[in-house]
């Protein structure tokens, strides 16, 4: 029987404005819910590792173990390898993989981690089943995803309202689910987990530096990334409309009273002994 394969298109691509965000991510700001479950000698799989900043942090936290980072996009893995090499880590390796059909034997890993992955895949339940399969009995699958509909900001902005509606429409047209955070527990149960701890956490951007960084990367992403191309090519927005959204981001970033919160859903799933 043929194995399931990825059918969704990654909405963001790997434009510099996207990597500006991805390379900012650390285990501390993006996987804190998992860190208390790590022990020094574990074998860890980091799914959708991107440029490898979280992967490298995980490798440093399991110095007697090993971390494997995998991504569907082979080009980004050179940056991930450079990240690990720059930190002098020798217990980490990288490869290309499709989370719907992982090329690892059953029970290979103690921990399987995925950050901001399931919102972009065609079949998140199948992805979780594969993550569960390659986890040893008693091991952990840890998943964290943002929830776009739950993002909130101040002051009110018609331009950012338009951005949110547009982004959700483009992401769904690409086969993903931008409001994944609220669905993680349901997907995990459907995938066969019975021991699921569901939590949430946020990124918050409110200082002048944070506002400039967050608004700037989204302003640039809106007009220059693969997301921008997919918005126009899919008939979701014109280039002129994208420029209006981009400027709305910059205007929000200049507001001294600006505040933006990104809600994430998280699940820690323990694989039973079956």
The pLDDT of residue 43: 98
The pLDDT of residue 268: 98
pTM: 0.94
The pLDDT of residue 1: 34
Question: With contact defined as beta carbons under 8 Å apart, do 199 and 205 qualify?
Answer: no
45 phi and psi, to 5 degrees?
-110, 125
Most distant CA atoms of the chain, gap in Å: 58
Consecutive H or E run containing 22: helix 16-22
Q: How many CB atoms lie within 10 A of CB 151?
A: 20
The model's pLDDT over 9-62, given as tens digits with 9 standing for 90+, comes to: 767 766 676 677 688 999 999 999 999 999 999 999 999 999 999 999 999 999
Closest by Cα among 203, 208, 204 to 256: 208
The pLDDT of residue 2: 40
Dihedral angle computed from the Cα positions of residues 238, 121, 43 and 64, in that order, rounded to the nearest 10 degrees = 10
Q: Are strands 43-47 and 195-205 parallel, antiparallel or unpaired?
A: unpaired
CB neighbour list of residue 90: distance below 8 Å, 6 or more residues apart: none
CA dist 216 and 202 (Å) reads 19
Length of the chain: 274
CA dist 189 and 203 (Å) reads 26
Q: Are strands 259-270 and 135-146 parallel, antiparallel or unpaired?
A: antiparallel
Q: Which residue ranges of the chain lie beneath pLDDT 50? A: 1-2
Q: Are strands 66-71 and 135-146 parallel, antiparallel or unpaired?
A: unpaired
Consecutive H or E run containing 113: strand 109-115
Question: With contact defined as beta carbons under 8 Å apart, do 6 and 98 qualify?
Answer: yes
First to last CA, the chain: 23
- The sign of the CA dihedral 90, 130, 141, 271 is negative
Closest by Cα among 35, 59, 31, 29 to 45: 59
Closest by Cα among 70, 96, 262 to 179: 262
CA atoms within 13 A on the CB side of 125: 7
The pLDDT of residue 9: 73
């Amino acid at each position: 029987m043929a194995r399931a394969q990825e059918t969704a298109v990654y909405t963001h691509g790997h434009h510099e404005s996207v990597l500006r965000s991805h390379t900012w991510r650390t285990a501390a700001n993006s996987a804190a819910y998992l860190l208390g479950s790590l022990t020094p000698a574990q074998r860890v799989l980091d799914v959708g590792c991107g440029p490898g900043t979280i992967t490298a942090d995980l490798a440093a936290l399991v110095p007697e173990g090993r971390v494997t980072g995998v991504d569907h996009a082979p080009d980004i893995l050179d940056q991930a390898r450079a990240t690990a090499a720059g930190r002098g880590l020798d217990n980490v390796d990288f490869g290309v993989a499709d989370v719907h059909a992982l090329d690892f034997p059953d029970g290979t890993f103690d921990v399987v981690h995925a950050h901001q992955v399931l919102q972009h895949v065609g079949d998140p339940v199948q992805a979780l089943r594969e993550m569960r399969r390659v986890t040893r009995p008693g091991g952990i699958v840890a998943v964290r995803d943002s929830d776009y509909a739950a993002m909130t900001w101040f002051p009110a902005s018609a331009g950012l309202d338009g951005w949110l509606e547009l982004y959700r429409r483009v992401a769904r047209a690409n086969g993903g689910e931008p409001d994944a955070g609220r669905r993680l527990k349901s997907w995990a149960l459907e995938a066969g987990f019975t021991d699921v701890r569901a939590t949430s956490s946020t990124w918050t951007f409110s200082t002048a530096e944070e506002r400039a960084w967050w608004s700037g990367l989204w302003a640039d992403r809106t007009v220059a990334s693969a997301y921008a191309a997919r918005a126009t090519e899919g008939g979701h927005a014109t280039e002129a409309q994208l420029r209006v959204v981009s400027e709305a981001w910059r205007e929000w970033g200049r507001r001294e009273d600006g505040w933006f919160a990104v809600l994430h859903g998280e699940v820690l799933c323990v694989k039973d002994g079956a």
